[in-house]
Structures are given as C-alpha cells and as structure tokens.
Structure 1
C-alpha cells in the first residue's frame, strides 16, 4: 500500500472585534493591535528592551498601537519570527494596509527612486535591457546580498567569499569593470549581451548595491577590483592578463589598488615607494609603504604605483612574492572593507608583473581616476537619495506636538532642499554617463576629467547637506547605530569617505578649473 502525500495548510487566524481586544488591557493579559493584526504581548512585555511600562499605557494596552509602534520601530521588527509568533488573530472585517511591497519592486515613496524608475516618468537614456537588468538585479540584491551586507557591516568581517564567487559566476564581477571587450561573448546577468553593455548598465549595478545601506560592505565587496584591475586589463601584457584577470573576475583571487601613501595622497607625484630594476632586467626590488588601501588586508595582488629610475611605473605585485606585510587600519566605518597599511620590504618582483612600460606610470594612474571617481559619484548620489527617502518616511510617521513631523514648515523646507539636490545630482550624473557612452577612453580623459571631478566634488557636498538635514530631523535616532535612524547614522558617519577617496573635493575641484583654464580660447575677452 503506497503512502499518500499529506498536504496541510496554515490554520485560519481567529478574528476578533476591537471591543474584544480592548478587554485584554492589563498586566498578564495584554493585547495590542498593529495594522489589523492582534498581538498577545502579555509575556513579551516583561522582556521588552524599553521596559514593561510601555505596554501599560492607556493608548497601547488593548488598543490599536500602529502609530505608536511605527513611531518607535522599523518595519523589519514585525517580520522577525519571534515577534510574528505573538500574533493570535486579526481584526474582523479589516485587512492589513501597511504590508511591505513585494521584494525587488520599485519604491512608491516620492523621490525615493531616480525619475527614470518612477511611475509616469520617461528617460532618453534607459532602454529595455537597462530596465530588465534593474528589475532582476534589485531582486537578487534584496534576496541574496542585503542580509550579508548588514551582517558583515555589523561584525566587521570581510564579505562572504562564496558571494563574490556567485557574483563571478553570474557575470556581475565582470560587469562592474564597465563596458569593454572582456564582456563580449561572456554569459552575463539578466541575459545582457556583452556587446550592448554600456555605462548605464554599470550605473544600475552600482546604485542598486548601494541600497543595502552598508558603506563598508560596499567597498569590501570587491571595491579593490573595480579600481585595481583596470590597469591590468587596459595596459598589462597578455601573460599578465592571463594570470590575473579571470581568477579575479571569478572570485578566486582578490586585487587592490595601492597608490596612496602617508606622504602622498592626492599628490600622486609625491609617492616614495621605489622599485629598483636589476642589472639583468629580470626583476625589480620594491621598498616602501602604502596607506588607506581598500581590500589590501585580503588582496592577493597589489596594483602598485612606484618610482623607478625611468620616472614612475605601475606594477601588479603578487602577495606570493613575499616580504609584504598588511595591517588593518581602523577607520570610522566597518573594517569589512579591509582597509590596509602595506609595507614592501625588499620585495623581489619579476619584470613580467610590470604593467605597460616603465616611465608611463603617471599616465596609467591618471587614466584610471575618471572611472573610479564616476563610480564614487554613482554611489554617493544614490546613498544620499536613500537617506532622503528614510527622512521623508520618518517625518510621515513620527508625531511631535500631536502632529506628524512634516507639519512643521522648517522640516518641509529641509525636505525640499534634499529632494532638489539629489534630483539635480542624478541628472548631472546621467548626462555625464551619456557622454561616457559616446566617447572613447582617450576622449573621456580629455573632455570629461574636469566634468567628473566637478560632479564628484559637488555630489559629496550634496551628501554633506543631506546627511546634516537628515540627522537633525531624526534627532537622537540619527546618532544611533540601531533602530529607526540606523541607516541615516551610517550615511552621516561614512559619506565623507567619498569626499576624500579618489581625490578630495578641493583638489579635484581645482583640477577641473585648471583644466578649463588650459582650454580657454585665445580670443576670449569680455
């Protein structure tokens, strides 16, 4: 006799009237209503971090505590299993109104999305392949990355290597390197064709990752690859590419960019790390230090700027050469980024690891900055928008003096400024991105270095303004690493990294003006 498969369905929840719930309003017998669902908090009240007294309030015990709850807690609290188990029924004839939208769906909160994603808006830049990538990538990020991002942001460990390998298998690591022949014929995420991949596809990948709300994780998740691998891909020998590129894109190996030193930040010409070429030309001996190197702690390769007898050079130095020491630097954001201080002590590096030609190092370094700074613009602008969205949500559910916070004119004015600045920043970014799609690599260096520099300088000022207003509106919660304002706190604490990394606001702003002055026509007069 064969066994029959038993199917069971979840038991129907019991229905109560509001009057029935109101009878459970004392210690030991305490129920509350949140969004039409009835919670028995009789035992939980004794364990509540905020104290049991909260549940004895006449506006809470036996009452609809929806507004009270969302004035104190984030939605995800209700989604935790330990709290879902407290549900004993629903209110008769009512349906939940505040359930989250499906995973991966666009936010319906005004200004929460770039206008090209907002309902009813149009864009000349984004086509069907861009929109398909955005839909599928957001779902992937929400379902498979966000939890990891929040976990490692909290514990400070590097992002899961298995996640990096999964991204590699789906073509995401390769897509993060931008358009190019390395994508042609490669299987890419969302069935995007390598030949059609452009900078708007890359913008989407970068901006959707930012929605995880985990700044350190964003750098830890192969931030070193995004800036450290391009010199190898663009200028390295075929032998060097064969050794490095595919293992890094698969997630089997990790790479970082080592330019900055304690003695030389934006002043690249001031670097002191020195590579002495052997008499027979077979190798270089490298000595020096590098500082603030993203992913340096766990990197297998170091794309390193060095001085040589010929001037400057760039080398892809394998950790396996030995005599390389990396120490973690404690920054004000999570150590998950693996930010390192690196010491090269008589490191013998075979000449095959020289990138391009000795003496061309400054050109290789500077040509890499445009893309690096553009990626940072994509990130900081999207992070500022997310902070603005969090602030709008907070002002809509937080009550002060008996009214929603947004009833205060000064609050609405701050929101207006935040919205205006993030919209302007995104539109400038999209215009620059369009120019990148139409220009060759050399044309980008000639025409866009100043534009990208100004955009980065200005976009981090936007982030500064948004962070300042968001923290003020959230108050104490905007300074707390957990709870309602946790994403605003993290944004306010970490946005400054984008204002410094890749060239400080003042340095690259000055660069843009100096480039403009060089291009002044001789007959320009008032």
Structure 2
C-alpha cells in the first residue's frame, strides 16, 4: 500500500487498472528514479526512454485504433501519476505526444493524416509537438499572430511560437494559425523549409524536458496539411482539455513522491536524540500532506470515471487542475522543510518536484485562468476581459 494512502484507494480500482498502474510504477522505479537527478542537473531529456514508453502502450494510450492502446481515462490518469512521480518532464513528453499532437490528428485530422502519423507516433518512431502558445499569446490564444495565407492550392504560414514542448526533436508539428476565416490547425513536418526550433535555456524548472521557441518563416504546406475537423479555437481547446486532465493526476504523483521522500527521511533522521517522525510538528506536516494527497487522488478518480462515462465537463477539469496543482506544489514545499538543508540537494525529490510544478501550474492554463473559468461557471459572468 502507498504510505500516503489513508482511504484504501486501491480498493476503488479494477484489477486491470492496478496492473497497468503497477507496470508503469515498476518502469519508473527501474528506469527513471536512478537517473533523474543527473538528467535534471544536466538539463537532459532522455530520448532513449521513448521506445520503452511505446512498448508500455503509453503514447496516445487513450486513443482508439491506428496502433493506439485504447485505454480508459482512469488508466491514462494512473499512468500519468506514476510518470510524474518520476519527473514532470517524462509525463509531459507523454502528454505532448499523446494528449496534444496525437489527439489533434485523431480528433480533427483526415483519414490520410491519421494513417500517416498515428501508427508511427504510437510506437515512438515519430515525435510530435503542438504549436499554440506565442510570446504574446499565452492565456489568450485568440490574440495569436501566426497567420496562414493561401497561395494557390498551398498555405504559407508565418509567425513565432514559444514554450513548445519537444519541438527541437519532433518530426511533425501541429501548428495553429489565424486565417482569413478562423483559427485553423496544420500538420507540418518539421523538415520543411522555414521551420526552426531552438530550445529555451537555461531553465530553473522542467530541466529534464525540452521546450522551444519556434520560427515559421513562410513555411509552405499543401492543402491537405489542414486539419479538416478543426475550425476556430474549439479545435486546440479539445486537445488542451486532454492534457489538463492528465495534469490532474500527474501533479498528485509528484506530491506523493515528495511525501514519501519526506516520510522516509523523518523516520531515519535523528534530531535531539529521536527520529524526526516522533515529533508532533513533523507528524502534523505529514498528516496534512497525506490528507491533501488522498483528496487529490479521489478527485482525479472521480473525474476519470466521469470522463469514461462521457459526462466530464470542461469546468470540472479546471476544478482538478487548479486544486491539484495548487496543493501539490504546497505539499512538495512542505516536504522539503522536513528534509532541512538536505532538501535542497538532488539526493531528494521534493524541491525538484516543486520547481517542476511551477511550470505545470502555469501551462495548460494558469491558476488565474482556471479561477476565472470556475468563476464564470458559478456566477454566469465572464471576467476574462
């Protein structure tokens, strides 16, 4: 049983869900944890893990057909939690590949686009990225300046994107651009002339991950590069909701891992002749952290069951993303206090997780954006402008 589990959480899961969770957990413990401190220190993303993630069926795992695993939303969430217990950068790779790039093609693409890209992406032979955010258009994608204009039967795309995960190692980019009619999505091979990607560095967060600035300098693509099923911002938002859902689970995975490090340390570290775990103040910290972890996972599971039943609404994803990111970062910071000075080293996970969660808390909608989504739901009044 997980040390933080106070409510018999596993009893709420099926045998198939537990098997998937345990296989991913075992992979994280054997392949990620022994190496993640070095990856983080060296700002290195381990591309060598991609074939292993594919063999586990984690790339586009919630999608049906085209070589995808067709797993449930709850199974995807459980996998996300385990991956982020290893590091946010690893879970982010699976999210960018599956929840963003592959979902865009699966939901909005033509049959030819699906056949060309999804089978290769599911087995890790092709990596995708998702180009929505811009230097001056983060929380307000409607103000994006990237523009696609027609030139005969082709499209020419010009603009810049920022904070685009995996772009420098991607084979295909889903690029969102304004057109004369509406925002449209384009499937763009990264080898085309005029496409450039430069990793953003140095970073204080998500160091074992890749985020890039993109340049689109008169990138020419044919008519069949357009995602036919995506017209307007509803297209990218459906993909963002998939990614946000994974974060609801992933953030709690990071929190749980930080808690476990602090709990183990408190049992072993002697202070004034007794273990830290024997002091009331330490126990209060541990209890408060465990309570929020339990509540966060129960919320994630409830949202997952709703999603599998086809009843999950967008504002409910905002509930999970806002709450679980906010609580997870507080848990990781509190766990660091139990570790004392040792907690600022990469021998322990809490501060690394806390630093990563600064990014997780920001991308796919900041706290402020999700607060306004929920505020509008409660009051009926939009307060974004």
User: What is the CA distance between 1:321 and its match in structure 2?
Assistant: 1.6
Instruction: Check if 1:497 corresponds to 2:365.
Output: no
Out of 166-175 and 344-353, give the one that drifted further.
166-175
Tell me, in whole angstroms, the C-alpha distance in 1 between the residues paired with 2:58 and 2:91. Answer: 14
1:168 is matched with which residue: 54, 62, 65? Answer: 54
Tell me, in whole angstroms, the C-alpha distance in 2 between the residues paired with 1:113 and 1:315. Answer: 47
- Aligned partner of residue 295 in structure 2, secondary structure: helix
Tell me, in whole angstroms, the C-alpha distance in 2 between the residues paired with 1:151 and 1:472. Answer: 23
| Structure 2 counterpart of 1:456 | 321
Out of 239-248 and 331-340, give the one that drifted further.
331-340
Tell me, in whole angstroms, the C-alpha distance in 2 between the residues paired with 1:332 and 1:225. Answer: 25
User: What is the CA distance between 1:433 and its match in structure 2?
Assistant: 0.7
Contact 1:326 1:341 in 2 (8 A): yes
Contact 1:148 1:159 in 2 (8 A): no
2:28 is matched with which residue: 109, 117, 141? Answer: 141
Tell me, in whole angstroms, the C-alpha distance in 2 between the residues paired with 1:408 and 1:170. Answer: 42
| Structure 2 counterpart of 1:180 | 64
Contact 1:138 1:208 in 2 (8 A): yes
More helix by share: 2
Flag the 1:465–1:167 CA change in 2: closer, same or farther, 3 A: closer
CA offset digits 1:331-378 (Å, max 9, x no partner):
2135442210001011111121111257x1311111122211110111
Tell me, in whole angstroms, the C-alpha distance in 1 between the residues paired with 2:378 and 2:65. Answer: 32
Alignment of 1:208-227 (within 5 A): 208-212=82-86, 214-220=87-93, 223-227=96-100
Instruction: Check if 1:476 corresponds to 2:318.
Output: no
Tell me, in whole angstroms, the C-alpha distance in 2 between the residues paired with 1:257 and 1:113. Answer: 38
Alignment of 1:227-246 (within 5 A): 227-246=100-119
| Structure 1 counterpart of 2:9 | 116
Instruction: Check if 1:254 corresponds to 2:127.
Output: yes
Instruction: Check if 1:361 corresponds to 2:217.
Output: no
CA offset digits 1:380-400 (Å, max 9, x no partner):
011111111211112111111
User: What is the CA distance between 1:145 and its match in structure 2?
Assistant: 4.4
2:16 is matched with which residue: 126, 129, 135? Answer: 129
Instruction: Check if 1:308 corresponds to 2:179.
Output: yes
Higher relative contact order (Cα pairs below 8 Å, separated by 6+ residues): 2
Instruction: Check if 1:338 corresponds to 2:210.
Output: yes
Tell me, in whole angstroms, the C-alpha distance in 1 between the residues paired with 2:19 and 2:354. Answer: 32
1:277 is matched with which residue: 150, 158, 170? Answer: 150
- Aligned partner of residue 424 in structure 1, secondary structure: helix
| Structure 1 counterpart of 2:279 | 408
Tell me, in whole angstroms, the C-alpha distance in 2 between the residues paired with 1:326 and 1:115. Answer: 46
Tell me, in whole angstroms, the C-alpha distance in 2 between the residues paired with 1:334 and 1:503. Answer: 17
Tell me, in whole angstroms, the C-alpha distance in 2 between the residues paired with 1:141 and 1:335. Answer: 18
| Structure 2 counterpart of 1:488 | 350
Tell me, in whole angstroms, the C-alpha distance in 1 between the residues paired with 2:7 and 2:138. Answer: 33
User: What is the CA distance between 1:182 and its match in structure 2?
Assistant: 4.5
How many residue pairs align between the two structures? 380
Out of 348-357 and 405-414, give the one that drifted further.
405-414
Structure 2: runs of 5+ lacking an equivalent: none
Q: Give me the TM-score of the superposition, normalised by structure 1.
A: 0.68
Tell me, in whole angstroms, the C-alpha distance in 2 between the residues paired with 1:464 and 1:322. Answer: 41
User: What is the CA distance between 1:421 and its match in structure 2?
Assistant: 0.9
User: What is the CA distance between 1:508 and its match in structure 2?
Assistant: 1.2
Contact 1:305 1:361 in 2 (8 A): no
- Root-mean-square deviation (CA, aligned residues, Å) is 2.3
User: What is the CA distance between 1:492 and its match in structure 2?
Assistant: 2.0
Contact 1:112 1:389 in 2 (8 A): no
- Aligned partner of residue 229 in structure 1, secondary structure: helix
1:395 is matched with which residue: 239, 261, 266? Answer: 266
Contact 1:302 1:317 in 2 (8 A): yes
